[in-house]
Structure 1
Amino acid sequence: MGVSAETAGALSYLHSEAAIAIIHRDVKSTNILLDENFTAKVSDFGASRLMPSDKAQLSTLVQGTFGYLDPEYLHSSQLTEKSDVYSFGIVLAELITGKKAISFDKPEKERTLSLVFVSAVKEDRCLEIIDKRILNEGNVEHITEVALLASRCLKVRGEDRPSMKEVALELEGLLRETEQYPWIHQDPGNFEESEYLLRGSHVDYPDTGPISTTGYTMKNQLICFSVEDAR
């Protein structure tokens, strides 16, 4: 839960606390790196866009990663902050199910995690798809709340999704309630389905050029990027 809360906080910072709002536009598991202390760091701002304060959406060419793309953005080419929220919802679903966003080796109806996950939550079957390795008698309620939050992030219409700030606050609240990091206090070997999040004992950021003095560095080094990376 610590990884998800830190990532949500970083994205919330981009959307509502940075001097100029920034939409990451390619939120996915492989762009969330973990250091030796399991501190989450959001990386790769090559697709990010600046959001002018006088606009709520931007008309752009669709860009992102299949399986994480906001369906509303995909069909309308209208990019909003809620597009990152949808992508983060997929990441949350991956974390608590241990499944990949897209699994081509599965039957067609089971290939897309978003459809499988939303359907399970809607039919009150979310515990059936939760990774059993993270479930115990003391955290079922909290894991279920995270699943419900992820399903809200995956609403088809952007206006029905929570803001990234709301997501971050909710996850931080759940984290405080658990008083521990149940998903990262386990042996790293238990993260077979999510090991692509790990990048050794240090974080290697993509080579996007030097960090400018106008960039932002979030507390705990959750985020480090150059404004020049956002177009």
Structure 2
Amino acid sequence: MWQTLKNWFLPKFTIPAHFRHLPWQQIPFLAIDLELTSLDAKESNILSIGWVEGKQSSIALASCYYQVIATKASLNQSPVIHGLLDEHIAQGEPVKVALEKLRHYAESHVWVFHNTNLDMSVLNKVFLKLGMPLEDIVTLDTLQLALYQIRKSESVPAPNAATLTSCRQRHNLPLAPAHNALDDAVATMELLFAQLSQLDSKGREPLSALTGTGALKVFKGTVRPQRINP
């Protein structure tokens, strides 16, 4: 149970009304992953994007989406890391097409990332550049949840302790394919459900109970994340 977090609630104006009092088991999640040309959000371009929906500790595989994105940017180490070559990128679709589909989930789902700050920074940059306004987006970060759980056990996070693979291993989840946006999105959703079940096995606590973990953020319409104070 989240006994240590029960009094850490977001102000009523922060969480959208349709999420405010729902226990996490009833909340629709969308796990998203981006494959990028760089870990520098200011310079990075999207090479591929994948997402999948999940709810009630179940992953809706029929909702899986994956798309390679056309870009003229340098691929840097992407052919080695992601296996995406120039010929794959040349057959990709414009990023606007993928993001038009993604923004349909802005109001209806809580977006889940393994490193929200990086992926949302890149998404914000692209949405703004394309002139595509968004509703407020509620996000959960499995990386920050992992760091919270490690620190709660009074241990200092080891190097690479919060990688997606390391986090899954601590929850006894099987090895998953890496460096593909859709595979990583599915792996992130599996990790999220394992983390939430460990914090609240009965699934009765509201999303706002996660405020004290640092994993919950609200992005105010493709600008900066809103700081959440207890």
**TM-score class, shorter:** under 0.3
TM-score by length of 1: 0.27
TM-score by length of 2: 0.27
